[in-house]
Amino acid sequence: MKKFGLIEEECICANEALKNNKQQSFKQYHKITSRFDSLVLQPEIEVKEYVKFVEKLTGYKFEHANVLIIACTHKSKGRNKNGNIWDDYNLLEYLGDSVIKFFNCKRIISKRKELLKNKEKNFSDIQRLKFIRTASEKNLLFSFICVDTGLFEFIRHETKNEETIRKYKEYVDRERGNIDVDELNNYHIKMLADVIEAIIGAILIDSGSIDVTEKAWSYLFEEYLTTYADNPKVPPKRAFVNYCDKKKYLKEFKECVQTVDVVTRESLMQNYGIEEQNSVIKYSLIYKEKIVFCRYYASSVKSKDKNFYLDLKKQIKKSLVPNFKRDQKFDSQYRRC
């Protein structure tokens, strides 16, 4: 409990202040802003340029610049010479993640009539809203926002992600207008998403107002949510179930159970005679206690679940009654990319 004492204390203080909805009350109880003000930071970024950039994106004017610097500081940079973590965006990201989910729910409920106009058949209203909520809270979307807006240029870090981020930016610039957020797995870096959440957390800390924070969040997020989240694709597994519903001969396959197993390097060599540097992930579909379909994916492959159901659907189109026995012999041509 000691480890999370600060978070617990600050949540109590924030709750007290938000009940009264007074900024002064928040600052009277809250100690984080003064803690940030006392920090002696030597950021490599241009602080004034960075603050102005974020203020333009969010429509919010910061009173404490240091809180915003911490919001862009990765743990690889937020360490002193002794190796002790002293300040990075983790606490702000934790707070931002929570309030973003709250804001998303409020937005979806308030716009539900509009959002339900394009509801898919065979899905209830609440299922449709859940799809939208999931799309609105994806780290893939947050990291895309970070790259698309240019915020990534201000992140303070000492990671080896520079090349991936550069390729990500080039891809976004090249494919602008044709971006599918779900296809950005190969470029996704959690640090990019964390910074977006940390900035929202920083605004709450700096302003002491949930209403002000929501307005800033909406200012930054609304266009992205409208474009990339309000009309989401049906999740792979749900799409497969929906496909089965349309085909009478496949209705029983809705009861199939999906299993995921790790095939170790040792097992690959011992059972299949294949030498691999990493483990392989085996996805199986169990029907009446028998494996009727399975695929192997390299552990580095993104969106394995999505690929599995897409592969399954392709195979079903080729055969009216799937009866595959690929589990008996290892498929050496498993997906690597």
Domains by residue range for the chain, with CATH? 44-247 (1.10.1520.10)
Is the torsion defined by CA of 35, 197, 114, 122 positive or negative? negative
Sheet of 257-263, strand order: 257-263, 280-287, 290-298
> For position 141, what pLDDT does the model report?
93
Position 283, amino acid: Y
The percentage of residues in the chain with a pLDDT greater than 90, rounded to a whole number, is: 24
pLDDT value of position 133: 92
| 14-18, 36-40, 74-78, 302-306 — most confident range | 74-78
- Give the confidence band of 73 by pLDDT, cuts at 50, 70, 90: confident
Cα(213)–Cα(208) distance, integer angstroms: 8
Give strand ranges (E) for the chain: 257-263, 280-287, 290-298
Give the pair of three-digit tokens for residue 309.
């159901």
For 193-239, the pLDDT digits (tens) are 999 999 999 999 899 899 999 999 999 999 999 999 988 877 777 77
Q: In 3D, which of 333, 122, 115, 149 has the Cα closest to residue 224?
A: 149
